[in-house]
Each structure stands twice: as C-alpha cells, then as structure tokens.
A and B are shown apart, each in its own frame.
Chain A
Amino acid sequence: MEAEQESPVKRAVLIDPGLLPGLDPLLRRRALGMLPVGGKPLIAHWCERLSDAGIREIELLLSHMPEQIRELVGAGERWGVEVHVLLVREDETPEEAVASARGFINQPTLVAGMHMLPLAGWRAWLQQAVARNEAAISTGSDNPYDWCVLSEVFWGAPEQSFGVLPCDDEVHRQIIDVKGLWQANMDVLSGVITDPNPSGYEIEPGVLSGKGCRLQPQAEVTSPCIIGENALIGKRVQIGPNVVIGAHTIVDEASSLMDCVIFDHTFIGSHTELDQAVVDGYLIVKVDSGVAVHVDDPMILGNVETMYAKRVTVAERLVAFFMLALLSVPMLLRAILLRLSGKQAWESSELLLPRGHDLDGRMSYHTLPVRCLAVANPMWRKLPWLWHVVLGRLALTGAAPSQKGDEPPPEWAHESDERQVGVICLADVSGASRAGHGCEEALIADSYYCASRKGPLDLMLASRLLANLWRPWA
C-alpha cells in the first residue's frame, strides 16, 4: 500500500559518513553501505525504499571504498532509479559534501546519511516536511545532514538555518556502531523492521534461504534465520534462532550459532560456538562487550576468499587449457614411450590442501586425488594437473593468503625453507626436494601454492613452465 503513495520528493542525496569509529573494525574491508542488514547490504535497503517511494534520482556522495558501492549499485537499473556517484574526501564535513552536490538539489530533495536505515514512518515524515515548505528542515539532531529535506532555496538563505520537524523511532534507525548493526539485523529477523523485499526463499516458516545454499545432514535451523546464497552448512551444525548468514559462507561441522550476524565469505571452523557476535571473516566482534578479536585461524574463523582458491579466474583456466592443449601431445608421446619401454606411464598421488592446525596442534588437510606422469622432471610430472586448473579445482599461481597490513602468513606457508610465499607453484616445483624434504612435504608446499590466492601472473607462469620443461631430465 505504501508503495502506491506518491512521494513529494523525487531526488535523494545519500552521504557516506566515512569511517565511523563505532564501526571501525568492520569498515576496514568494506564500505559502510555494504554492511549487511537482514541479508542484504545497507545501500540495497536504501535503493529499494527510495524506489518504492517514487524517488527516481539518487546522488551518492562516497568517500570510503566507493568502488564497492559502485560495483553493487551500478547505474541503479536494478531498482528502476538513476544513480549518480560523486566522490568526496573523507575529511570533508557533511556540509561541504552536500555543497558539492548543490547542482543536483534543484527541487526538494531528501538528504540523509547512509548510516540511517529508513523505517516504516519515513515517508510520512517526508510528506510533513515538504508540506511545511521551508528551505531546509531536519529532525533536530546534532548533524542536520543526517536526515533532512533541502530545497534549492536553501543555498540562497543568508544563514542556512534548518527548520525542525522532530521524528519518532518509526522514521529511521541510526547504525553507528557494531551493536546498532547487530540490533538492526535482529530487528529485521523479528519483524520489528520490515523488509518489503526480503531476498531468498522461505524454506520453512521464518527461515529464508538464498539460491544454492546447502544444508548437510543433521544440520538444525531454528527460525528466525536468513541464510545467504551458496552458503554451506555442515553436519550437525545448529543455527538459530536469530542468525543472519552471508552468502558464500561455510559453517563447518558441529558448530553452533545463535543471535549473530555472519558476513559474506566467512569460514567458521568446526565446533565453534558463536553467540551475540558479528563476524566478518577472521574478525569477530562480541556485541555485549564490544571486544573485537582478529582470529585468522583456519580451525576457528577465517575468510573463505583468502583461505582456499574458491575462484579460479576464466583467464587462468584458459591459460591452463591452452598450455594443456599445447603440451598434451608431447606428454602423451612420453607416456607411450614409457609404456613401450615396459615402464609405468602414470602414477597416482594425492594433493594435500592445508587447512590449518587442529586442537592437538597437528596439521589438517583436504585431499585431492591427482595423476602424475611417471618421469623425474617435476614439470612433466605435474602437467596433468593443469586439467584441475581448467576445472577450477586448483589455481595456477600462488600468493600469500594474508596480504593485509602486518598480518603474518600462516605457519604452513613455510613448509619448505627454500620457498617464498607468493612464488609460482607449477614453475617452481623442485625446491622442496632440493632442500631434502620428503615427497609429501613437497606436495604440501605445492598444494599450498595451488590452493592459495593467485595473482595475474598467468603468462609469466606459462613462459616459466615452458622454459623449465626443457631442463635436463634427472
């Protein structure tokens, strides 16, 4: 019903308030508008609500990580609105930021901070504000630009004064700290904040699930919950009540989650217990105490994107495909020669993909069965592995999984003394054997580089691999 009322304003300006201290740990890797509320980014809530209200043009004044918002919002077609992005400096005051959008405000315009979440009563407030026909009208808060209506007349006013139209709790919700973000999510789950366009399918009353979400046997979900797309919920996991899980998140076996918000791409290790917390990858913020802990331990918490090669790029797969096509003939000839000479042509092996230490301090691995060409030259031995790159199971190049700030790479990144984090894996395969390590450790090290994040080094890798193929066969 609300959507049928015509909005008295047609334009909106949203100001990114930059690095809000209360949200600081969560804003180190993402823009404020990308913080999840009820399973979707805050900026998506804004666009939906503005579009539903009949607002057709939105100016975004962005300062912190604007590329993330740009990538998500685009030109606004998804919501039937026209979005313009204006970059502002992080040290600009809201007044200065809004002044830079002055040309856009040539009719009554809603101006708001992006950290405000519009609630059910926001449109009623807007109508009352416009009806007062003042140059500028705010809710009376300390920073009037957090929520106000401006008209073009405002800029001609001698003292840019704001009229005041107070608002109640039904107009908007400020999200200025982690607890506020958590509470907004809990309120979406409980229905206190209504989401007119909830995303996902209701797989049972109160449980929304995104596309591609997988629940393994004996996983228990208690409503209300929202589970993002492509999330993987392991065996015997207990979820809920009051849990929001982001897309592409992995919750490992026998974990327990209650009253918490999990951001996209988070890995939660087995037997981990989360209660009243906001988790973004390896960062956990306890809501009650406000304590933020950077865990980055693949057995407890981590970031799926940096822990395992989940995405092998198309370019990387193509390079691997062409390399395989180019080298398959000599590889097969070599195999035939081996067979003709009465030797074994292929060997089976198993790649060990490290996942960290278990609670007894032992290394823990995933395994991937592979075939090797039964020759001494390690380049040739590993050629069949290129097929796994084509299939997206292995990455072609390796780089350190934790590249941010002064975070050290995990201990298992140094399985082999001679290797440096970030070197190309397939082109540099004999370091471990030269160093006197056993075959298993060489495989571990190789697997690490295969499994870790990769850089745009495909062509360099290709050339080095080709060059190394012609080394003397030991």
Chain B
Amino acid sequence: MIVVDLDGRFDSLAAQSTKTELQSLADAAGQRVLLNMKNVDFIDSSGLGLVVSVFRRLREHNGELAISGPSAQVRTIFELTRLHRIFDIHETEEMALAAWS
C-alpha cells in the first residue's frame, strides 16, 4: 500500500511532473495507491485525467485506488465530472486506510 501526498494545484503542470512516478506505481501488480489530497486546493481536467489513467492502470494490474481528504472545492470538481461515482473517496487518510484494512 502506498500513500501519495499531493499538494497545491493539481493542474496540467503538476500532472505532467508527477505522471511518470504515479504511472510507475500503478504498474506493480496488485498495488493499492491512496492519493492523499488533503493539501490540494485545486484540480483541473488534466489532474483528473492523470488520476483516471492511474486508476485504469491499477485496474489492469488488479490494483486499487482511493482518494482521501479532498477539500470541498476538489470534491465539487469530482462531483461535476461524475468521478466521485468511480473512485473511493474518504474524508481522511485514516478512514481510507481503515477501509482497506
């Protein structure tokens, strides 16, 4: 299980810089990745696109993805794009870890 702490604006620039790292994490078989978005104050479609692609890769390798601690702003964007129905979104990191354990 890997917890990835993201912070600041998770936009196209941030997505570009973290893309390789996140995707390599997703390539391990059966990996569980928790994206901790507690300190993310904005996410755009590029950031969402990266999360979706990581999610797809994880699924291909029988892994799992969860998201924890999104701010109200970030949660709103997940809801706008209907992605809140796809991802497991938890209020806190502890709750997410507890759900997996």
Chain A contact residues, CB within 8 Å of chain B: 269, 271-275, 284, 286, 289, 291, 293, 295, 297, 299-301, 356-362, 411
Q: Are B13 and A411 in contact (CB under 8 A)?
A: yes
The closest CB in chain B to the CB of A412 belongs to B12
Q: Are A300 and B77 in contact (CB under 8 A)?
A: yes
Additional pairs, 20, CB under 8 Å, beyond known A358-B49, A359-B48, A362-B49:
A272-B80, A273-B80, A284-B76, A284-B80, A286-B72, A286-B76, A291-B72, A291-B73, A293-B73, A295-B77, A295-B80, A299-B45, A300-B44, A300-B80, A357-B49, A359-B52, A359-B81, A361-B53, A411-B12, A411-B46
Q: Are A357 and B46 in contact (CB under 8 A)?
A: yes
Q: Chain B 8-42 against A: per-residue CB contact (8 Å), 1 yes, 0 no?
A: 00011101000100000000000000000000000
Tell me the bound Cα distance from A175 to B44 in angstroms.
Answer: 32
Tell me the bound Cα distance from A429 to B48 in angstroms.
Answer: 34
Q: How far is the CB of B47 from chain A (nearest CB, A)?
A: 9
Tell me the bound Cα distance from A361 to B82 in angstroms.
Answer: 17
Residues of B close to A357: CB separation below 8 A = 12, 44-46, 49
Closest 5 CB pairs of A and B: A299-B45, A361-B49, A291-B72, A359-B49, A297-B44
A-B contact pairs, 14 of them (CB 8 A): A269-B45, A272-B81, A273-B79, A286-B72, A286-B76, A293-B77, A295-B44, A301-B80, A356-B45, A359-B49, A361-B15, A361-B46, A361-B53, A411-B46
> Chain A: interface secondary structure?
loop
Q: Are A360 and B53 in contact (CB under 8 A)?
A: yes
User: Is the C-beta of B50 less than 8 angstroms from some C-beta in chain A?
Assistant: yes
Q: A293-B73, A299-B45, A300-B45 are in contact. Are A361 and B80 (CB under 8 A)?
A: no
Q: Which of B47-101 contact A (CB under 8 A)?
A: 48-50, 52-53, 72-73, 76-77, 79-82
Residues of A close to B19: CB separation below 8 A = 361
The closest CB in chain B to the CB of A359 belongs to B49
Residues of A close to B77: CB separation below 8 A = 293, 295, 300
For B, the interface residue count at a CB cutoff of 8 angstroms equals: 21
Q: A272-B81, A300-B81, A411-B13 are in contact. Are A359 and B76 (CB under 8 A)?
A: no
Q: Are A297 and B73 in contact (CB under 8 A)?
A: no
Chain B contact residues, CB within 8 Å of chain A: 11-13, 15, 19, 44-46, 48-50, 52-53, 72-73, 76-77, 79-82
Q: Are A358 and B73 in contact (CB under 8 A)?
A: no
The closest CB in chain B to the CB of A285 belongs to B76
Tell me the bound Cα distance from A273 to B46 in angstroms.
Answer: 18
Tell me the bound Cα distance from A361 to B23 in angstroms.
Answer: 14
The closest CB in chain A to the CB of B51 belongs to A359
Q: Are B82 and A359 in contact (CB under 8 A)?
A: no
Residues of B close to A284: CB separation below 8 A = 76, 80
Q: How far is the CB of B50 from chain A (nearest CB, A)?
A: 6
Residues of B close to A361: CB separation below 8 A = 12, 15, 19, 45-46, 49-50, 53
Tell me the bound Cα distance from A4 to B9 in angstroms.
Answer: 59
Residues of A close to B50: CB separation below 8 A = 361
Q: A299-B45, A300-B77, A357-B49 are in contact. Are A273 and B72 (CB under 8 A)?
A: no
Q: Are B12 and A289 in contact (CB under 8 A)?
A: no
Residues of A close to B48: CB separation below 8 A = 359
Which of B50, B53, B81 has most chain A Cβ within 10 Å? Answer: B81
Q: Are B76 and A293 in contact (CB under 8 A)?
A: yes
Residues of A close to B15: CB separation below 8 A = 361
Q: How far is the CB of A37 from chain B (nearest CB, A)?
A: 24
Q: Are B81 and A271 in contact (CB under 8 A)?
A: yes
Q: A361-B50, A411-B13 are in contact. Are A297 and B76 (CB under 8 A)?
A: no
Q: How far is the CB of A66 from chain B (nearest CB, A)?
A: 32
Tell me the bound Cα distance from A295 to B79 in angstroms.
Answer: 12
Residues of A close to B11: CB separation below 8 A = 411
Residues of B close to A299: CB separation below 8 A = 45
Residues of B close to A359: CB separation below 8 A = 45, 48-49, 52, 81
The closest CB in chain A to the CB of B74 belongs to A293
Tell me the bound Cα distance from A39 to B81 in angstroms.
Answer: 26
Residues of A close to B72: CB separation below 8 A = 286, 289, 291, 293
Tell me the bound Cα distance from A381 to B87 in angstroms.
Answer: 49
Q: Are B13 and A271 in contact (CB under 8 A)?
A: no
Residues of A close to B53: CB separation below 8 A = 360-361
Q: How far is the CB of A373 from chain B (nearest CB, A)?
A: 35
Tell me the bound Cα distance from A295 to B76 in angstroms.
Answer: 10
Q: How far is the CB of A157 from chain B (nearest CB, A)?
A: 49
The closest CB in chain A to the CB of B56 belongs to A360
Q: Are A360 and B81 in contact (CB under 8 A)?
A: no
Tell me the bound Cα distance from A299 to B12 in angstroms.
Answer: 13
Tell me the bound Cα distance from A284 to B11 in angstroms.
Answer: 18
Residues of B close to A358: CB separation below 8 A = 45, 49
The closest CB in chain A to the CB of B85 belongs to A273
Q: How far is the CB of A85 from chain B (nearest CB, A)?
A: 38
Q: A289-B72, A300-B45, A358-B45 are in contact. Are A274 and B81 (CB under 8 A)?
A: no
